[in-house]
Structure 1
Amino acid sequence: MEFHPMHWRFETKKIILVIAIVTTAGAVLQTCSLPHPAAFRPLFSVITVTTFETPNNTTRKSGTVPSNVRDEQLPAVSFPVNQPADQATRVAPQAITLFNSTISNTTSVTSPNTPPSDDGLRVSDFAEPVSEIVYENNGTAKNSSKQEASGSSLAQNILEGSRMSNSRSNFIPIGANRNKTIRPKNDIPKSKLKAPTALSFPKRTRADSRTKNEVGFMPPDQALLYAKHEIQNAPIVTDDPDLHPPIFRNVSTFKRSIPNTQHFKQSYELMEKILKVYIYPDGERPIFHTPELKGIYASEGWFMKLMEENRQFVVKDPEKAHLFYLPYGSHQLELALYVPNSHNMRPLSIYLRDYVNTIASKYRFWNRTRGADHFLVACHDWGPYTTKEHEELCHNTIKALCNADLSEGFFVRGKDVSLPETTIRTPKRPLRYLGGRPVSQRSILAFFAGNMHGRVRPVLLKYWSDKDEDMKIYGPLPNRVSRQMSYVQHMKSSKFCICPMGYEVNSPRIVEAIYNECVPVIIADNFVLPFDDILNWSEFSVVVAEKDIPKLKDILMAIPLRRYIALQKNVKQVQKHFLWHSKPVKYDIFHMILHSVWFNRLNQIQS
């Protein structure tokens, strides 16, 4: 099809617009994830454009394809001076047709040995017949056949490929050898990775895993699918110097996390490689962004502090995040809004509801998943109840809760996280009382001292207070006893430390016992133990049903000495997973909490 310049005129701005459209199309196509993109790139890399005057003072443009592609002239493109501005954009279909025609010609001479694209297809698989586009006198275009111009279809395929792949692994520099595929240093061989659109990845060994940079180029949702696939196809880990196999449900499960399979170790490594968290900057102090580092609710404060200081996982760009953290303190919420003795928690939940509504209207991320990729960390007993005024916050958001009670309907196993309740007495020295006596110096069979509240503790005292010399069971520790041996010394000198629930199922005594290397005896029906998806609590603790309190001594005495020594040894080994550090350490409690949130988010994703 030929244009006659004598009938057309150009305005300068229309020329610029045409050049911009063609140049932009070339840039997009140059960076798209196309099969063997070297076949396309020369078309745009060295096209020469000339401008000249015609006898009728009409400016026109022409381009020439370099000889290494096709030795022929591109059709001239021209527009009259008085043409409406929006008509100028109609050069795009012609450019697409020209582009598709060139691709068809290139494909026709492709040998069977042409290198396949990264998704295993050849250029010919994408080439389509070109339908001729005829431009009428009024500047509008119509298809000469009943079928749409194939250039439009091809352009759509290209743009779809661009959206599906956020990777730079297919980029080939201008002027590169088209018969040789150029990859970044750490790219994966084509035989090892299929097209990202299929999201089906082959089994691979740990040595064959993607590098951190390659996974970092993936869109967040695709990275999570990749991680889940890698977890499901993890190699079995039978021994690891950093981990003690008996305390895990399966040591492989700690490095690649799916319940009842061999995947934890790799899951942890994938978390370190992939996970990015966005922290909402919104929220008024002291309820938000004010960590409380001392007392029995310190877990939520320490996690907030370390999360907000973190540079490995935290990102400033929410578009890159896999998870979104709501940085509020449940204890600070109670101190700020609860009216003493009112027994009314509704103002607290309304405040949190309004906060969530605010971020949902300000940012697009909450509504995208209805809060399923958001999480909160709350250690106050009222933590679960503060979410009930917002349905999506209550039922969709991942909640890390100390009050992990299955019977009340707030905590969902497999979605929510059981948060360890840690008592920190000296924030500057959180590990001050760590350690205990050897087994041979633990003369007390069982010890408990604490306030009388909840349904279990009064029953415990009823059966065992001042009933047996081997069972040191008290209410608040009497002065006459504490003068001879302190609370901490009792724990360090006891074989078993009794950890009954209080008002709620959780108790800080569980972690206190682990700190003092005393085997915890947990009495709390319906309690989901911390990190229960990963840790095998039967290997370092004893769980007793509430109805078996009268038989408590018989249950403990029935444990053989060899078995007890193994339990106590495992308590020492599991201790590092419950320790707070001013700078987080691998496998410590900060990473364990974050891993559990990551773990549960992966389990929600459908392959």
Structure 2
Amino acid sequence: MRQKLQVLRRVEATRLLLFAGLVFILIVGFQYVNVQYSSVVFLLSAEDKIPISRNDNNGTLLPSSESETLSVKSMSSSNIYHAPEVDGREDVLERKRIVSDEGHILDSEMKDLQDTFMEDDTDNDNESPDFETRRSSNKSLSSPSALPPEDLPTDIESTEDASTNSDYERKEKLEILENESDHSVDKLAPEVEKLVQVPNSGVFSISQMMSLLNQSHNSHVSRVGKPRWSSPVDRELLYARNQIENSPIIENDPLLHASLYWNLSMFKRSYELMEKMLKVYVYREGKRPIMHKPVLKGIYASEGWFMKLLKSSKTFITKDPHKAHLFYLPFSSKMLEKTLYVPGSHSDKNLVEFLKNYLDMISTKYRYWNRTEGSDHFLAACHDWAPSETRRYMGNCIRALCNSDVTEGFVFGKDVALPETTILFPRRPLRAVGGKPPTQRPILAFFAGGMHGYFRPLLVKRWGGSKDPDMKIFSQMSKGKDMKRYIQYMKSSKYCICPRGYEVNSPRVVEAIFYECVPVIISDNFVPPFFEALNWESFAVFVMEKDVGDLKRILQSIPDEKYRKMQMRVKMVQKHFLWHAKPEKYDIFHMILHSVWFNRVFQS
């Protein structure tokens, strides 16, 4: 009897297992068919959209019903596309954060933000301190067409590996964009081209740059992107401009030292108004990894940290675009290059085309771009190619660029200089910050880095090796323990040389400030970060490229008392160049946003 019961139990168990397996197969099959069908329907329906030109002089708007339909389609596509994993892990921050009714991260979740801010949370003490990639010449373009947003590859890592090779430089193959290809892609927008200033002598001094900035605020830039119809935000911006221009005189401030700024009174009033008034609308459209998936590690981290902190801000973000003073275009210039660039093509034409397609999409779906022709929109891009990629179709935008080169279309009063900051340890961005006092800095000047561009080999040829004990100039350092040597050299030197590479920008400028070393910037026509507010000549030395042979004499001619004042000011200005997981008053996040806000106000 017991044997029969055992047999019956086994038979019943087998039947249940078979039935469960059949149900599972049916469910999986149904989901597979449903997802494929949904994707096909979405792609077919997307073919029916007729783009409306962003430059439509009539300011044509979509009917509300069509706009709603487009919104549904965008939601469908976001369900189909899945963000790539990083080292087998999804973006932990996006999954863990708790969102309030306004769509912002709650203060109670800030600890999770700090703990999960970086996708790659492995600190590597062997990573190198010299983080500059090989530079390109950013000429014009020709290459395969850009992929549409639906067809972005999903096998791209979304964070930049900061590990470097034996000479502190990543072994990326140098790609030169050919100058004999399609120049039409690389041209400036016609209304912006007339605003570009080219120095007669070949080089702009800091004082000449400041003069151009003041001229632009009082004349031509205000006429770019004049609103086609009025909005309450226009009156708010005019109010802010009047308040800034008539700001009360401030001689002393406990947090701000007057000698660091062109006009402390105007800066402080502008900053206060930004905190009280500024609202930014962030477009939700766009596919990862190019859109909404920033690089948070390495030399391009500025654009990534800014995107991350802005999108999580409860102070500045608005979900109502009618209240927005600024519209943010949330793309990563590094991920654009990493995702779409065809190695060996020597062309970024398809990258430019991708950005154009994105603008076509948002200007078709919304009316905000068309109202000002994009002059109230802004971007933050740190890749070297960003100026050439954005100058044609995004030329009216406020562009925050690391490669802030006057000769490559940088427009004073419109564009802003984005600091190029290296983030090796995202969990501890302030690791090793600070340096030795002036009395413990026996080295006159220090530089170490790859031989990028024409200038650095000249620097090493003149001062390299052990030719001069006061000038510690190296073409390279091996990795490992030399990372600490690099940092110690910066902490122990009076002056840190920040020469141009293939482009005018270098992460050494911010590194020098980070380690409280007076920066010596040798990069003609480089617009330094936060130029609208900071008087760089009060805490940094500028040397023209042609004077490299006189470098030591120039540095030795600076009186010791003046050096001590400059070094003290470096320590004071340092707070403007530090990243915090939770932004702090006057830190680098707020300073970037202030530069954009300031130029936007003076366009009104």
Fold match (TM-score > 0.5): yes
Which residue in the other structure is 2:553 paired with?
A: 554
TM-superposed deviation, 1:482: 3.2
CA contact (8 A) 1:403 1:506 kept: yes
TM-superposed deviation, 1:238: 0.7
Where do 1:428-439 residues align within 5 Å?
428-439=427-438
CA contact (8 A) 2:387 2:408 kept: no
Alpha-carbon distance in structure 1 between the residues aligned to 2:423 and 2:299: 7
Alpha-carbon distance in structure 2 between the residues aligned to 1:457 and 1:418: 23
Alpha-carbon distance in structure 2 between the residues aligned to 1:389 and 1:563: 44
Find 1:340's aligned residue among 314, 320, 343: 343
The one-letter code sitting in structure 2 at the alignment partner of 1:486 is R
Q: Please, which runs of 5 or more residues in structure 1 have no aligned partner?
A: 1-217, 253-262
TM-superposed deviation, 1:570: 0.4
Q: Does 1:503 align with 2:502?
A: yes
Which residue in the other structure is 2:261 paired with?
A: 248
The one-letter code sitting in structure 1 at the alignment partner of 2:332 is G
Alpha-carbon distance in structure 2 between the residues aligned to 1:324 and 1:229: 22
- The DSSP-based 3-state class of the residue aligned with 1:473 is strand
Which structure has more relative contact order (CA 8 Å, sep 6+)? It is 2
Alpha-carbon distance in structure 2 between the residues aligned to 1:345 and 1:458: 28
Which residue in the other structure is 1:271 paired with?
A: 274
- The DSSP-based 3-state class of the residue aligned with 2:602 is helix
Which residue in the other structure is 1:372 paired with?
A: 375
TM-superposed deviation, 1:481: 9.3
TM-superposed deviation, 1:339: 1.1
Where do 1:68-87 residues align within 5 Å?
none
| CA deviation string 1:374-409 (max 9, x = no partner) | 00000010111111442xx12x10000000000122
Alpha-carbon distance in structure 2 between the residues aligned to 1:373 and 1:277: 10
Which residue in the other structure is 1:3 paired with?
A: none
The one-letter code sitting in structure 2 at the alignment partner of 1:457 is R
CA contact (8 A) 1:330 1:383 kept: yes
CA contact (8 A) 2:351 2:389 kept: yes
Which residue in the other structure is 1:404 paired with?
A: 404
Which residue in the other structure is 1:309 paired with?
A: 312
Find 1:222's aligned residue among 219, 231, 235: 235
Q: Please, which runs of 5 or more residues in structure 2 have no aligned partner?
A: 1-230
| CA deviation string 1:542-562 (max 9, x = no partner) | 000001100000000001111
Which residue in the other structure is 1:448 paired with?
A: 447
CA contact (8 A) 2:498 2:521 kept: yes
Which residue in the other structure is 2:477 paired with?
A: 477
Alpha-carbon distance in structure 2 between the residues aligned to 1:557 and 1:330: 40
Q: Does 1:528 align with 2:531?
A: no
For the aligned residue pairs, the C-alpha RMSD in angstroms reads: 1.4
**Residue 234 to residue 388, structure 1, CA distance change in 2 (3 Å):** closer
Alpha-carbon distance in structure 2 between the residues aligned to 1:481 and 1:503: 27
Q: Equivalent pairs: percent with the same residue?
A: 61
Which residue in the other structure is 2:487 paired with?
A: 488
Alpha-carbon distance in structure 2 between the residues aligned to 1:574 and 1:549: 27
- The DSSP-based 3-state class of the residue aligned with 1:377 is strand
CA contact (8 A) 2:539 2:566 kept: yes
Alpha-carbon distance in structure 1 between the residues aligned to 2:308 and 2:481: 38
Which residue in the other structure is 1:233 paired with?
A: 246
CA contact (8 A) 2:516 2:567 kept: yes
For structure 1, which segment, 337-346 or 519-528, has the greater mean C-alpha deviation from structure 2 after superposition?
Answer: 337-346
Which residue in the other structure is 1:287 paired with?
A: 290
Where do 1:414-425 residues align within 5 Å?
414-425=413-424
Which residue in the other structure is 2:366 paired with?
A: 363
- The DSSP-based 3-state class of the residue aligned with 1:565 is helix
Considering only CA atoms, is the larger Rg found in Structure 1 or Structure 2? Answer: 1
Find 2:327's aligned residue among 292, 309, 324: 324
TM-superposed deviation, 1:479: 7.2
Q: Count residues in correspondence.
A: 373
The one-letter code sitting in structure 1 at the alignment partner of 2:383 is H
The one-letter code sitting in structure 2 at the alignment partner of 1:482 is D
| CA deviation string 1:160-188 (max 9, x = no partner) | xxxxxxxxxxxxxxxxxxxxxxxxxxxxx
The one-letter code sitting in structure 1 at the alignment partner of 2:252 is D
Where do 1:101-180 residues align within 5 Å?
none
Which residue in the other structure is 2:597 paired with?
A: 598
TM-superposed deviation, 1:233: 1.3
Where do 1:531-546 residues align within 5 Å?
531-546=530-545
TM-superposed deviation, 1:575: 0.2
TM-superposed deviation, 1:480: 11
Runs of 4+ in 1 over 3 A off after TM superposition: 478-483
Alpha-carbon distance in structure 2 between the residues aligned to 1:385 and 1:480: 36
| CA deviation string 1:15-69 (max 9, x = no partner) | xxxxxxxxxxxxxxxxxxxxxxxxxxxxxxxxxxxxxxxxxxxxxxxxxxxxxxx
Alpha-carbon distance in structure 2 between the residues aligned to 1:248 and 1:231: 15
- The DSSP-based 3-state class of the residue aligned with 1:249 is coil
- The DSSP-based 3-state class of the residue aligned with 2:400 is strand
The one-letter code sitting in structure 1 at the alignment partner of 2:260 is I
- The DSSP-based 3-state class of the residue aligned with 1:604 is coil
Alpha-carbon distance in structure 1 between the residues aligned to 2:344 and 2:257: 47
